[in-house]
Amino acid sequence: MKTSFSSIFWSLISLDVGCFFLVGAWGTYRNNNRTQGYSGRAIGKITKKHFQTTADGGGNYYVEYWFAPADSYKINGTNCISKKQWGALQINDKLAI
């Protein structure tokens, strides 16, 4: 069986892309577990706001934030919030987590 250079090339590209997404998904999973496992209170800072349209024409409002508990390192998180809260919050606002 003969293999061509182009098939090997595209196989390696596909493998690289797959590894890239696998590493990104693993990082997101770990970050989400750290956020969910935190049970104290801390002051966080909003880093990003975005809106995601749903298939039924509605949408979800999200804020991304970070916080640093006193005895730990910086934790990033994302949360779905109401439209009213989304409109009131601005990037770089501080909030209690």
Question: Does one domain contain both 33 and 61?
Answer: no
Q: Is the pLDDT of residue 63 over 70?
A: yes
The predicted pLDDT at position 14 comes to: 92
Average pLDDT over residues 45-72: 85
Q: How many domains does the chain have?
A: 2
Question: Does one domain contain both 31 and 60?
Answer: no
Q: Is the pLDDT of residue 89 over 80?
A: yes
Average pLDDT over residues 35-41: 64
The predicted pLDDT at position 36 comes to: 64
Question: Does one domain contain both 48 and 95?
Answer: yes
Question: Does one domain contain both 97 and 61?
Answer: yes
| 11 within 8 A of 20, measured Cβ to Cβ | no
Question: Does one domain contain both 33 and 54?
Answer: no
Question: Does one domain contain both 18 and 53?
Answer: no
d(CA 83, CA 50): 11
Q: Is the pLDDT of residue 43 over 90?
A: no
Question: Does one domain contain both 62 and 86?
Answer: yes
Q: Is the pLDDT of residue 48 over 90?
A: yes
Q: Mean pLDDT in the chain?
A: 83
pTM for the model stands at 0.55
